[in-house]
Structure 1
Amino acid sequence: MGDMYFYGQGVSQSEEEAVKWYKKAAEQGDADAQFNFGWMYHYGHGVSQSNAEALKWYQKAVAQGDANAKNRMGDMYYDGRAVSQSYEEAVKWYRKAAEQGNAHGQKNLGSMYERGKGVPQSYEEAAAWYKKAAEQGNEDAQRFLGQMYKDGRGVPRSDEEAAKWFKEAAE
């Protein structure tokens, strides 16, 4: 029901109503609702923005193995929201999400390797993680992978592969 209100599907769109329904389900232990409720606090949709509340609900979803919440935990550590900023901790959480097949976690882990934040810089590792996310349709990863092929960083330089991934991202 929270999603229906958030997206205005079959009901009038209302972030406040979405929050009400996410909270009900989250308090009953639903991991997806816990993630969504945390996300609403993270970005201040339908509630006052609160990093502490976002963290609390992400942690509840993480305890149930939710990959989206693991990725957002990485964001919390990357930015230092309600936790001490740590690229190493961000990498740890992005990796947990990535290894569960979460495309956002894979893209974020690739970005950490590309920039050498929290891990030794490795264009090869970056490209490998970007490719996993790109193959799942993550448009940022498709664009980043295209750039790596264009520049020959971590992969053999290939205008054809670059064009393929840029086209995927554009579509």
Structure 2
Amino acid sequence: MRPFRTAVSLALPLIAATVLTAPAHADVKDGVDAWQRGDYQGAVAQWRPAALAGDADAQFNLGQAYKLGRGVPADLAQAEAWYRRAAKQGHLQAEDNLGLVLFTANRRDEAMPFILRSAERGEPRAQYVLGTAHFNGDLAARDWPRAYALTKRASDAGLSVASARLAQLDSLIPLDQRQRGLAMLPEIEKNEARARLSAVNAAAPPAAKAAPASPIKTASLPASVPGASYTPPPVIATPAPLTPAAQAAALAAAEATAAADAAKAKPGTTYAPPPASGKLPPTPAKTKPPLNTEPIMVRETPTPARPGGGNSPWRAQLGAFGVEANARNLWTSLGKKYPAVAERQPTYFKTGKVTRLQTGGFANKGEANNFCAALTKGGQACLVVDK
């Protein structure tokens, strides 16, 4: 059986459009506003004092700024340090990114404890890494049913690289073991909800001690209802901060992965099958594309592309899927999010067991590039191809 290399490009946009709803410091919100105006240096200037004062969201955002090189020089060591400080305070997204940064830097043994915890909470990127490790049996025990189940969970969350990997596993893992993996999914989903709830509760500060009884009688007042002031601020804008459902929504919103940078690579490399035999050696960290994680508070507005284009051969590919329904579901969700997508028609190309989602009608390659650039800014993978 041909093993995969346990290496991930990790060009994984975290969440493209999120807003802090209850910052512990006003400076955090001011930094968000500055970032949205494109004033990255101003955003960093607002976040740094709050980060030094211990605000976990400010620490996470400062780590993102160093990771992206916006407002400060790109510095992975600084990004890791700020992620680590936020993670120690229970900032789950910081812990997710810390594990992925360590993995990308080839410090895999150090990364795996973070990857395991993130995967247990349902973080799709971590599930993809862990699933590959279970398939190879190098960084985790060889377990093909669990490898298939974790890759399926990541694919269902919208990671196109996981969907492409799932199609490969369909031909590499025997049917009975794939069926065992699918049978694991309900229990895995339940365990994810429990793990998220446990992590949120562990991050919450302890309840204040009750004051000693006073001999003075007072009026009976209704009990206070615990609110956001007693809960770590959420990492995304949701109707209910840090509930399990909100965490699940945030995780499900993790965008497509390796194809996000595929426009800079040779067409087809994202979905190339594994080698005929033998494990590939680990790729040095400097050759891996960096994590393209946007700060949690950044909202990007995609630029609509124009319909039309006649018989132009240029198309935009939005992903490859082992299950055609996933491709159709992705097109539906993108049509609701991007007007440029809603104006166009999808095309589903079947190649073996892989379905590639594409759209055409571009007047020229430049128009197709603009279309993909707009979607990539929002965190959606997009690759210009010549039909």
Please, what TM-score do these two structures have when normalized by structure 1? 0.72
C-alpha spacing 1:19/1:107, structure 2 compared with 1 (3 Å): farther
Residue from 173, 178, 199 that aligns with 1:155: 178
- Which protein, 1 or 2, shows the higher relative CO under an 8 Å CA cutoff with sep ≥ 6? 2
Please, what TM-score do these two structures have when normalized by structure 2? 0.36
CA deviations on 1:8-54 (whole Å, 9 max, x unpaired) are: 2xxx2222222223323322322222122112212322211222211
Structure holding more strand per residue: 2
Q: Which amino acid aligns with 2:96?
A: N
Contact map agreement 1:127 1:145 (CA 8 A) in 2: yes
C-alpha spacing 1:95/1:70, structure 2 compared with 1 (3 Å): same
For the pair 1:87 / 2:108, whether they are aligned, the reply is yes
Residue from 56, 70, 79 that aligns with 1:45: 70
Contact map agreement 2:156 2:326 (CA 8 A) in 1: no
Larger radius of gyration: 2
| 3-state SS of paired residue (1:155) | helix
For the pair 1:27 / 2:48, whether they are aligned, the reply is no
Match of residue 119 from structure 1: 140
For the pair 1:4 / 2:33, whether they are aligned, the reply is yes
Residue from 97, 101, 105 that aligns with 2:118: 97
Q: Which amino acid aligns with 2:48?
A: K
Contact map agreement 2:132 2:147 (CA 8 A) in 1: yes
* Runs (5+) with no aligned partner, structure 1: none
* Runs (5+) with no aligned partner, structure 2: 1-28, 180-320, 335-387
Match of residue 127 from structure 2: 106
Q: Which amino acid aligns with 2:91?
A: D
CA deviations on 1:71-110 (whole Å, 9 max, x unpaired) are: 2222232233xxxx43222221111112233233223322
Match of residue 354 from structure 2: none
Contact map agreement 2:164 2:322 (CA 8 A) in 1: no
For the pair 1:164 / 2:325, whether they are aligned, the reply is yes
| 3-state SS of paired residue (2:178) | coil
Match of residue 87 from structure 2: 62
Q: Distance in 1 between matches of 2:163 and 2:125?
A: 12
Cα offset, 1:168, TM superposition? 4.3
> Identical aligned pairs, as a percentage?
28
| 3-state SS of paired residue (2:122) | coil
Residue from 152, 155, 166 that aligns with 1:134: 155
Q: Comparing 93-102 with 23-32, which one deviates more in the overlay? A: 23-32
Contact map agreement 2:163 2:322 (CA 8 A) in 1: no
C-alpha spacing 1:152/1:118, structure 2 compared with 1 (3 Å): closer
Q: Distance in 1 between matches of 2:147 and 2:327?
A: 17
Q: Distance in 2 between matches of 1:152 and 1:117?
A: 17
Q: Distance in 2 between matches of 1:31 and 1:114?
A: 35
| 3-state SS of paired residue (1:101) | coil
Q: Which amino acid aligns with 1:100?
A: R
C-alpha spacing 1:101/1:20, structure 2 compared with 1 (3 Å): farther
| 3-state SS of paired residue (1:49) | coil
Matched residue count: 159
Q: Cα RMSD over matched residues?
A: 2.9
Q: Distance in 1 between matches of 2:133 and 2:325?
A: 24
